[in-house]
Structure 1
Amino acid sequence: MDIVIAGGGKIGETLCQELSKEDINIVLLEKNQNRLEQIINKTDITGLTGDATDYDSLVEAGIQNCDLFIAVTPEDETNIISSVIAKKLGAAHTIARVRNPKYANRTEFIRDSLEISMVINPELEAAKLMARLLEFPESLSTETFEKGRVNIVEVRIQANSLLAGISLTQFGQRYSELLICAVTHRHETFIPSGDTVLHEGDHLYVTGEKEELNHFYREVGYKNKEIHSSLIIGGGRVTYYLLQRLSKLDMDIKVIEMDYDTAVDLSHQFPDMMIIRGDGTDQEFLNEERIEQFDAVLSLTGIDEENIINSLYAISLDVNKVITKVSRTGLLKILEDTDLQSIVTPKILITSKILKFVRSLRGAKASNVEALYRIADNKVEALQFLVKKGSQVIGKTFNELNIKENVLVAYIIRGKELIFPSGEDRIYAGDHVIVVTTYKRFDDIDDILK
C-alpha cells in the first residue's frame, strides 16, 4: 500500500510513525527541509521538500499511483485544495484535516462535493471524547461502539475496593453483564484470563452497556456523582466544540480565557454561558472563581505544562472529575505515575481514526473494520468488524475456533441482541464483532485465528 502525507507537523509525524509500522510505503511532502530530515531520521519513510498544492511536487511524490493521500498541513485551505488536486491526479482516496469552526458544519458538503474521502478534525474528536468522559465521570477513559450501545471504560481499583484480591472468574460471577477485556498492572498491559487476580492500583478496561456500568460504579464504591457544573480553563478550538455539545445539557459552565478577543468571541457564540477573562494558571484567581465548587475541571489551554499543573491543583482540591489536554505524546509516559485522571491527546484520536480507514482499505475480504480505538496507552487495540460471507470464523463454535493468544472477542452484536460469547456461541455473516487484542495489525476478523 502506498500513502503520501502532506505536512510534517505533530499529526504528520505521528502518522508517519504509526503507519510505517503497518508495512506501508510512505512518502512525506514537507516544506521545511530540516523538519523533513528530522522525521525521516526517526521513521522508516521517504520524503521530499515541496508544497502540498504544487502540481510538480505532488507528481514527484507519486500521487498519481498512491492508494491514499493525507493532507495535514497547518492551513485548512491548503489541505482541501491539495486533496482535490491529488484526487484529480489519480489518488484513490484522500483525507484532509480541517480544523476551523467555520467549516465544522460543512464537512459533508466538503467531502461529497469535492470528492474527499474523509475530513478529520482533531479538536472536534477531542471534544467528543471529553463530552463522553463527563457522561461517565468515574471512568478515566471511554470508547463507544455501535452508536453508544457498547462502551469500554477505564477504571482504577482504589484502596479498600471490593475488586482488590478477586479473580476474573469471581468478577464474572458478580457482574455477569460486564467483561474486563484488558488489565494494566504495574505498567504491564495484558488480556486477562479467568485466573487473573485484580490488585489495588490496577487499571481495568471494562466493557458493557451504560446502565450496567453505572450499577457497577455504585456497587464497587465509586462516587458516581453526576456532573452538573464544569470549569473550563482555556478558550481555544477544543473548548468551542465542547461548548456546542455541553450547551444541550443542563449544566452550569464557566470558561476562563486570557485572550480578550477570544473571550469576547466565545461570549457572543454562547451567550448563556459564563465567559471570564483572566489567567487560568493563577491559583489565586482560580480560588476567587471557586474552582473547588465545580464538579468537573477541564484544562484545555495550548500549553501542556500549564494544563498539567492546573489539573494537579484541581485534584488536590478533591474536584470530582478532572480532564487534561496533552498534545505532546512524549509526556504521556512521564505522566503515568501522577494522579492525573483523564488525559486527552487529539492527535492520538485522529491517528486511530485514520488507522481504521487504512485497515478498511487493505482488501479485507471477510470483514470491514467499522471502529478502531487504541486503549491502555496505545498498548491494546479494540476493533469492531462487520463479518461478511466467506469468513473462516462463520458457523463454528468458539470452542472449535483456534483463536490466537492475547485476543478477546468481547461482544457479538446481532441486530438488537448483545452477546457475550461463550464456548458454544457462533459468529454469523452480518454480525458486528468487537475484538480486543495486544496485536497491532488486525484488518480482518480472520486475523484472530492462529
Structure 2
Amino acid sequence: MKIVIVGAGKVGELLCRDLSLEGNDIILIEQDAKILEKILANNDIMGFVGSGVSYDAQMEAEVPKADVFIAVTEKDEINIIASVIAKKLGAKYTIARVRSTDYSSQLNFMTESLGIDLVINPELEAAKDIKQNIDFPEALNVENFLDGRLKLVEFHIDKDSILDNVSLFDFKQKFFPNLLVCIIKRGDEVIIPSGNSVIKGDDRIYITGSNSEIIKFQDALGKDRRKIKSAFIIGAGIISHYLAEELLKDKIAVKIVEMNPKKANKFSEYLPNATIINADGSNEEILREENFQNYDSCISITGIDEVNMFISIYAKKIGIKKIITKLNKLSFVDILGENSFQSIITPKKIIADKIVRVVRSIANKKKNLIESFYRLENNTVEAIEILVNSDSKINNIPLKDLKIKKNLIIAYIVRNNVAIFPKGTDVINEGDRVIIITKESFFDDINNIVAE
C-alpha cells in the first residue's frame, strides 16, 4: 500500500520503520531537512521537505493516490488540517495524532464532521494502559481482547512458587482450567509453549483469561492483590492529566510532583482534588519529605527517560508496591525491563501498534478484520484478535484436521460473545473472533495459521 506520513518525530520515525518493514511504500513529509535525511538513510522509504498543510507538498507526495495518510507532527492543529486536506485530495484513509486535552471532547466531531477517519491520542492511550496496570498490581503488562472482557497478562513466577516445575498440562488440569499460558520468557528465550512445556521459577509468563479468573490466579499464587489506594506521580504532562482524572474517579489518592511552577499551578487548577507539589521529583530528599515510601504506587512519567529510570529504581529499593515507568527509547525498555519487575509504558509503541493494526486491516479488507493487535517481547511475538469472514479457507474444518503452524497458539474462539478454549474437534466459523499468539511476524490473515 502507498502510505504518506507527515512528521518525523518519535512516532513518525517508528512508523516509517514498522510500516516499511511490513512491505508498504512509505513517503515521508518533514520540514526539517536534516531530520528527514537521517530517517531516509536508515529506512527504505521516500521523502520530501515541506509542510504537511501545504497543498504543493501533499501533491508532490502523491497524497491523492495514498491508501493511508498519517499526520503525527508535534502540533495538533497541523495534524488536523493536514488530514482534512489529504481527505479532500483523495487519500482513502486518514489518521491524525491529537494530543491536547483541549480536543479530548471533540474527537467524534473530528471524525464525523471533518472527515478524519481515525483520531489517535497517544497520551490518552498511555494513561489508559497505566490505569489498567494499576488495576492489576502484580502484573507486569496487561493487554485487552474482546473489548476488555479478556485479558492477556504478564506475571513473574517466583522461585518458590507453586508453579515452579509445573507442566502446562498440569497447570490446566490441576490448577487453572480456565486460563491459558500463551508465552514463557526464560532469560533471553521466548517460548510459545505446548502442553509438555514446563514453567520454572524466575520465568515470566503471559496468561489469558477473564478478569475474575486472573484474580483467582493472583490469589492462588499468594500475590498481594490489595487495590492500589494511592498514586505518587512524577511529572505533570498530558499523560498525568488524563491519568489523574481516572485515578480520582476511582477514589485513589493522587499526588503529583512537578518541577515547572507554571505547570504545577495549572495542574492545581485542573485537578483540585489532587495534591500538586512544585518540586524536583528526582530529589531523594524531596521524595522523603513527601512521604514517597508510603504510597502504593509510583508512576514516573517525566519527559526524560533517565530521570524516570532513576526514580523507578529508587522506588523499587524502598519497597513501593507498584512501579510504572514511561520510557521513549526502546533500548532503555530492554535494559530496565530485564532487571526489574515493573510495568513499562512506551507511548510511541502503543500508537505504532494501533496504527499497524489499522493498516493491516485496510490492506486485507477482503480477508479478515484485525480487532486487536499487540507486539510483545521486543516484537518477537504478536497477539492478534481477528474477526473471521465467510471467505476464510479454514472455516468449518475441525482444528485437528488442520496442520497448525509451530510457534502459534489459538488461545480462544469467541462465538456469540462466549469465549471457548478450542479443542481438536472445534471449528472456526464466519463471524467468530479468534485470538492468536504467534512468533510469526506480519500476521494478517486467519488462513495463515495453517502450515504450507
How high is the TM-score relative to the length of structure 1?
0.98
Matched residue, 1:321: 322
Matched residue, 1:57: 57
Mean Cα deviation higher: 252-261 or 232-241 = 252-261
* 2:81 is the counterpart of 1:81: yes
Matched residue, 1:291: 292
C-alpha contact 1:138 1:223 (8 A) present in aligned 2: yes
Matched residue, 1:419: 420
C-alpha contact 2:122 2:347 (8 A) present in aligned 1: yes
**Partner deviation per Cα, 1:16-54 (whole Å, 9 max, x = no partner):** 111111110001111111111111111111111111111
Structure 2: distance between partners of 1:428 and 1:285: 59
The list of structure 1 runs, each at least 4 consecutive aligned residues, that deviate by more than 4 angstroms after superposition, is none
**Partner deviation per Cα, 1:103-125 (whole Å, 9 max, x = no partner):** 01111101111111111111111
Structure 1: distance between partners of 2:439 and 2:417: 29
Equivalent AA in structure 1 for residue 262 of structure 2: D
User: SS of the residue aligned with 1:430?
Assistant: coil
User: SS of the residue aligned with 2:148?
Assistant: coil
Structure 1: distance between partners of 2:32 and 2:128: 33
Equivalent AA in structure 2 for residue 181 of structure 1: C
**Structure 1 residue 340: Cα displacement:** 4.6
CA RMSD of aligned residues (A): 1.1
Aligned positions of 1:387-406 closer than 5 A: 387-406=388-407
**Structure 1 residue 200: Cα displacement:** 1.9
User: SS of the residue aligned with 1:333?
Assistant: helix
Q: How many equivalent pairs are there?
A: 450
User: SS of the residue aligned with 1:302?
Assistant: coil
C-alpha contact 2:261 2:278 (8 A) present in aligned 1: yes
Matched residue, 2:31: 31
Matched residue, 1:96: 96
Matched residue, 1:43: 43
Matched residue, 2:347: 346
Aligned in 2, Cα 1:360/1:240: closer, same or farther, shift over 3 Å?
same
Matched residue, 2:168: 168
Equivalent AA in structure 1 for residue 418 of structure 2: E
Aligned in 2, Cα 1:364/1:445: closer, same or farther, shift over 3 Å?
farther
Mean Cα deviation higher: 237-246 or 328-337 = 328-337
Structure 2: distance between partners of 1:363 and 1:234: 41
Structure 2: distance between partners of 1:6 and 1:416: 39
Matched residue, 2:140: 140
Structure 1: distance between partners of 2:338 and 2:144: 26
Structure 2 stretches lacking a partner, 5+ long: none
Matched residue, 1:110: 110
C-alpha contact 2:10 2:348 (8 A) present in aligned 1: yes
User: SS of the residue aligned with 1:247?
Assistant: helix
**Partner deviation per Cα, 1:144-188 (whole Å, 9 max, x = no partner):** 111211000001111211111111111111111000111111112
**Structure 1 residue 415: Cα displacement:** 1.7
C-alpha contact 1:152 1:207 (8 A) present in aligned 2: yes
Identity value in percent = 42
Aligned positions of 1:369-408 closer than 5 A: 369-408=370-409
Equivalent AA in structure 2 for residue 81 of structure 1: I
Matched residue, 2:10: 10
User: SS of the residue aligned with 2:401?
Assistant: coil
User: SS of the residue aligned with 2:79?
Assistant: helix
Structure 2: distance between partners of 1:422 and 1:220: 27
Mean Cα deviation higher: 397-406 or 303-312 = 397-406
Structure 1 stretches lacking a partner, 5+ long: none
Matched residue, 1:444: 445
How high is the TM-score relative to the length of structure 2?
0.98
Structure 2: distance between partners of 1:83 and 1:261: 32
Mean Cα deviation higher: 248-257 or 331-340 = 331-340
Structure 2: distance between partners of 1:59 and 1:448: 40
C-alpha contact 1:366 1:446 (8 A) present in aligned 2: no
Structure 2: distance between partners of 1:333 and 1:268: 37
**Structure 1 residue 195: Cα displacement:** 1.5
Equivalent AA in structure 1 for residue 396 of structure 2: G
Structure 2: distance between partners of 1:230 and 1:18: 34
C-alpha contact 2:140 2:341 (8 A) present in aligned 1: no
User: SS of the residue aligned with 1:318?
Assistant: coil
Equivalent AA in structure 1 for residue 269 of structure 2: H
